[in-house]
Amino acid sequence: MSTEAVLKYYKQTFGGDPEQLAFAPGRIEFIGNHTDYNAGLVMGVAVAEGITVAVGRRKDRFMHFVSDGGEAVALPLDSLSPVSGLASWTNYPAGVTKVLLEAGMEMPVGYNMSITSTLPAGAGMSSSAAFELATAYALSAIYGYETDKAGFARIGKKAENEFVGMPCGILDQGVSAFGQADHIVRIDCSSDLFSLSAMPAGAHFWIFNSNKKHSLVDSAYADRHRECHEALAILQKAYPEVKNLSEVSEAQLRSQESELGDLLFRRALHIVGENDRVRAVESALLANNLDAVGKALSASHESSRVNFENSTKELDFLAVQLQQQAHVYGARLTGGGFGGAVMALTDDKFGAEHAAVIEAAYQAEFGIEASIFHTRAGDGAQTL
């Protein structure tokens, strides 16, 4: 977290000291790709990197935001609506503000906010959810609103769904809220049930950012969301008791392959397979079998490539190169896909010299530098 920088930006822009600081981490989607909005199972890891905000109340009914020392953006508290263009990044805190007001939080005056991030932009590590959670924690502290971790996760999700316009599930916000050092967050999205699994000793996370940035709101994410629901509607004709794709067995799915057609069948097969892979990973972690975990991660990437088609040639290259390296258990794209980053689960012998081999091969292939960083499972959102 970057408390010195966020305080500096606040003082430079607004003068004086803020009333409250809050931090929320980004996340690695460990396994369970696009299962969250299909009411399925997913595992994620809160990372040490994230977003820090500093907030203080104003005397008028405006919100002023400044990020990384740039020009402040002012928005009226009494007419909250999404903005476009260069200021669209303010939709995340504005959306959270709107959701908190709808939930009953009283805001007699607006606020100033400065923001700093240690997350790589566009790498699929959910800076948006971190921004939402940090905002929710800070505003709740200064305006006197109380809820639990699950409540904060739902506030962030609602802001992103209804204000930002991104039809995400609760994975990103849930992991940011429930993260714990050296643990994986497991979410049953059918009931928003959160639990923690300890990471085996010696397991490390390496993130290889393809530097092919994505913007999920403008990408095929919404198409995949729609395709999943179209597949479900067809499956429900044969199996009316099924409420979501994650309740469908592979046998049920294959019985309707001709009805679904190739595209919808593959989309549904990815979701059904991902839920099975989450269960396999959970069992493997209990048995401290990181080889089995790695195989499931690599199988997840292959399904993303073939069935869900949310990978890219850059992500595929990074995943395959990593999977072939010694000391790597497995590798897969992390996040929504369509660009972003690949996560590698490694042992403690994998180091910077191994990462440099991958980066050199990637640059030779695409003429792009991959950004690399080594992270750990960190704690969840908190006031500072």
Q: What is the DSSP string of 120-168?
A: PTTSSS-HHHHHHHHHHHHHHHHHT----HHHHHHHHHHIIIIII----
User: Which tokens sit at 372?
Assistant: 């690399």
Residue 161's pLDDT is what?
94
Q: 166 versus 307: which is more confidently predicted?
A: 307
pLDDT of residue 202 exceeding 70: yes
CATH topology match: 3-200 vs 204-375: no
172 is catalytic: yes
- For residue 191, CA distances in Å to 110, 188, 239, 351 come to 35, 6, 21, 39
Q: What is the third-level CATH fold of 3-200?
A: Ribosomal Protein S5; domain 2 (3.30.230)
177 within 8 A of 341, measured Cβ to Cβ: no
Those residues with Cβ within 8 angstroms of residue 277's Cβ, 6 or more apart along the chain or in another chain: 31, 32, 296, 299, 300
**Higher pLDDT residue, 28 or 221?**
28
The whole-number pLDDT of residue 298 equals 98
Q: What is the pLDDT of residues 343-370, one digit of tens each?
A: 999 999 999 999 999 999 999 999 999 9
Taking the domains of the chain in order of start, what are their residue ranges?
3-200, 204-375
What pLDDT is attached to residue 218? 56
CB 227 within 8 A of CB 264: yes
Q: Kindly report which listed range (183-197, 212-226, 278-292) carries the lowest average pLDDT score.
A: 212-226
How far apart CA 281 and CA 298 sit, in angstroms, is 12
Angle (CA) 6-9-13 rounded to 5° is: 145
Mean pLDDT, rounded, for 311-330 = 96
The contacts of residue 146 (CB under 8 Å, 6+ apart) are 140
Residue 149 · residue 194 · CB < 8 Å? yes
Name the residue among 331, 261, 262 with its Cα closest to residue 296: 331
The residue from 78, 172, 276, 291 that is catalytic is: 172
Query: Chain-wide mean pLDDT for the chain?
Result: 93
Residue-wise pLDDT for 81-107, tens only, equals 999 998 999 999 999 999 999 999 999
Return the exposure string of 135-162: e unless at least 16 CB atoms fall within 10 Å of the residue's CB, then b.
bbbbbbbbbebeeebbebbbbbbbbbbe
List Cβ neighbours of 205 (8 Å cut-off, separation of 6 or more). Answer: 28, 45, 47, 343, 344, 345, 346, 374, 375, 376, 377
Q: How many CB atoms lie within 10 A of CB 280?
A: 17
Domain 204-375, CATH homologous superfamily name and number:
GHMP kinase, C-terminal domain (3.30.70.890)
pLDDT in tens, 241-251: 999 999 999 99
Give yes or no for residue 217 having a pLDDT over 60. Answer: no
